Amino acid sequence: MNESNFNRRDFLKSACIGVGALSLSGCGDEIRRDADGEPIKNFGNENGLPSIDVLIIGSGGAGLRAAVAVRKKHPSLGVVVVNKGMPSRNATCMAEGGINGVIDFEHGDSHKLHAYDTVKGSDFLGDQDVIAKFVEKATEAIHELDYAGMPFSRKDGGDVAARFAGGAKFERCNYAADKTGHAMMHACLDEAISSGVKFLLDHYLLDLSTDGDTCEGVVLLNIRTGDVVPILAKAVVLASGGYTRLFFNRTSTPFNATGDGIAAALRAGLAFKDPEMLQFHPTGVRNGGALITEAARGLGGKLINNKGERFMSRYSKKMELAPRDIVSRSIETEIREGRGFGEGMGSYVLLDVTHLGEEKIMGGLPQIRHVAMLFENMDLVKEPVKIRPTAHYSMGGIDVVKFDDMSTEMPGLYAAGETSCASIHGANRLGGNSLTDAAVTGKLAGEGAGDYAASRAAFGSGKRASELAQKWQLRIKEIVSGSGEPNELYSLREEFGRQNWDNMGIFRTGEKLEALNETLKQIQARHAEMKIANPNLAFNTALIDYLELGNLILLARCACVGALNRKESRGAHTREDYPKRDDVNFLKHTLVRLNGDEPTISYKDVVITEFPVEERKY
């Protein structure tokens, strides 16, 4: 491409499929050309329905890496990425601290040490066979992103710069200032567009469609028009993000990450693995929970209580660089025992980086300086910032049965990133491993989906997809009857978030979880009877809010049941009534499926290979 003639807006526009052509009657055959000028097939018309070889739900790092992987390995396949909004609206671009992967092997670090840190960080709930493969793929991912043009920060010699992240023995968290996810997402987006990937924007996932036991495609809602659109695909990759938005009032998760892919998989009969394992990041800003990156502590940030003490010395030898679950519990303990500032939900401690100096802060932490000024009106160059833990990451997700291709138990369906659970993170994810997860699992899922699609001669019948679409059309017409109270939905959403935070937050008890379980059933029933006051289907954001809340309620019920039945404390799951880890009864994964509308539980053994289970000390 001639750089002097490059216009990114036109470049992106050329990648977006015209949504107006999509309807229940199909969209016909459309031939476009990829970045090399070769014709590729986008949407075809099979059995009277729009069809595509590989359909990817979600345009974050995992979805984009999956899309590129399909095109690189199978350039003749058509690939379409579906997103609720613009492709750059995702959780990946909000990740700040860095991306883990060993690229410096000359100073004592190794894949084995990265694997051990990840296993120990997971509180031994991570599957060790998967983790061993993950850390090797992590190194490949860093080099691939570097080669793709990701603007990493650099050492004096030009190598990618790295720093410490919580729970790590070596500096293996590679970074681009404190905007690593933003840099990664845009590098991946540019590579996807130039690879011939096409984007279908303003479309919302309603459900998966199956032909027998095989995934035949999806049913989408066209947000622009309100039309319900069934689409056939030879392979589908779910990469729609996690579900910590269920703590609606206090989370760093973007508003559009509402667990839609996981909820659709549950309704299709798949297992939701380890739903109770929800991570709280230690340092969200006091107001609302927007993220202050772990890199601030990696560079030497100090946590201070109302007595002026650097209190982490009471809880861990690694101080502020202990794993996230330990630091989060420590902060909340300081607040509960009266050593925090403020009261109630406004309570906080301080994160102090002033000693680093303006040059180091502006060079390595410019984004969080902006966040602190935006949300707290505080300049962290001059003063400590007010912080409190915030709901941040979902260790649980769709059960992946084979890490090598990120396949699920349903043929034709793949999962990647935070939507998936390949058991890399177990009960607690290490800082820096999330972007690595997106890059690694995204590529594996894309290659797996591409191989599967290339092996299939025909699409599904489309009968189930058409039936689902018709049911959704009737249901949506019922929801937007125009008879509802305008604020009822949002009041329910606020109540939902508060109940989850109070009863399934950092500290849990059986009594609280029992009460929450009943409350969530009532909230789900109220939601099911609710109507939307606006009957206009075009860009009906209240309808989207309603559908998203329904998915979050379903996932919260699964998480609550998993937490209630896990009678131990492990990683991010802290039961005050069962404070010890119980390896005899709970060294196993929770699997939740739906029996009708009710979550039911089974368990699956954790895979132990190289590292014996031991007491987790930092």
Specify burial of residue 333 (Cβ count, 10 A radius: 0-12, 13-18, 19+): middle
What distances in angstroms separate CA 37 from CA 42, 78, 106, 189, one per listed residue? 14, 14, 43, 19
Cα–Cα distance for residue pair 73/196, rounded to 1 Å: 13
Q: What are phi and psi of 41, to 5 degrees?
A: -90, 130
Cα–Cα distance for residue pair 215/54, rounded to 1 Å: 12
Cα–Cα distance for residue pair 322/168, rounded to 1 Å: 9
Three-state DSSP state, 98: coil
What is the H or E stretch that residue 218 is in? strand 214-222
What are 613's two structure tokens? 């289970």
Question: Are 180 and 104 contacting, i.e. CB atoms less than 8 angstroms apart?
Answer: no
**CB environment 286-311: b (16+ within 10 A), e (fewer):** bbebbbbbbbbbbbebbbbbbeeeeb
The one catalytic residue in 172, 250, 324, 570 is 324
324 is catalytic: yes
In the block, residue with structure tokens 């990937």:
197
Residue whose C-alpha is closest to residue 571's, from 334, 323, 250: 323
**In sequence order, which ranges of 254-365 are alpha helices (DSSP H)?**
260-267, 295-298, 324-336, 358-364
**In sequence order, which ranges of 74-177 are alpha helices (DSSP H)?**
111-121, 128-147
Cα–Cα distance for residue pair 69/62, rounded to 1 Å: 10
In the block, residue with structure tokens 């750059």:
88
Q: How many CB atoms lie within 10 A of CB 613?
A: 15
Please report the beta strands in 368-452, taking only residues with DSSP state E, as ranges in sequence order: 385-394, 397-399, 413-415, 420-421
Cα–Cα distance for residue pair 286/279, rounded to 1 Å: 17
What distances in angstroms separate CA 469 from CA 19, 52, 56, 82, 225, one per listed residue? 17, 17, 19, 17, 15
For the chain, how big is the Rg over CA atoms in Å? 23
Cα–Cα distance for residue pair 476/474, rounded to 1 Å: 6
Three-state DSSP state, 429: coil
Strand partners, 573: 570
What distances in angstroms separate CA 479 from CA 9, 65, 92, 501, 548, one per listed residue? 36, 36, 32, 28, 13
CA angle in degrees (0–180, nearest 5) for 557-516-121: 65
Report, as residue numbers or ranges, the catalytic residues: 324
